[in-house]
């Protein structure tokens, strides 16, 4: 292997919006995520709508049925 071309992996803290956190190694340092395996619907079995930047509300507003 060539010397000096590989990145340095430092210990990093990954924190989720739900409050869960765990330690891993990364080249970029600490990481903040919106969803993790503790709160992801696939792993928890619950349905959850993740509203990123109001997209869900804009979609509902745009395609809502207009009542007379």
Closest alpha carbon to 7 in 24, 29, 22:
29
Q: Which two tokens stand for residue 50?
A: 């993740």
Q: Which two tokens stand for residue 65?
A: 């049925």
Query: Mean of the pLDDT values across residues 5-22?
Result: 90
- Rounded to two decimals, the pTM is 0.56
Distance (Å, whole) CA 44 – CA 52: 20
The 10s digit of each residue's pLDDT in 16-68 is: 988 889 999 999 999 998 888 888 777 777 776 666 677 777 888 888 876 55
- In the chain, the domains with their CATH numbers are 10-63 (4.10.80.400)
């Amino acid at each position: 292997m060539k010397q000096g071309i590989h990145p340095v992996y430092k210990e990093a803290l990954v924190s989720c919006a739900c409050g869960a956190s765990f330690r891993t190694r990364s080249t970029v340092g600490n990481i903040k995520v919106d969803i993790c395996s503790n709160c992801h619907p696939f792993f928890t079995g619950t349905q959850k709508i993740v509203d990123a930047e109001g997209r869900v509300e804009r979609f509902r507003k745009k395609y809502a049925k207009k009542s007379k």
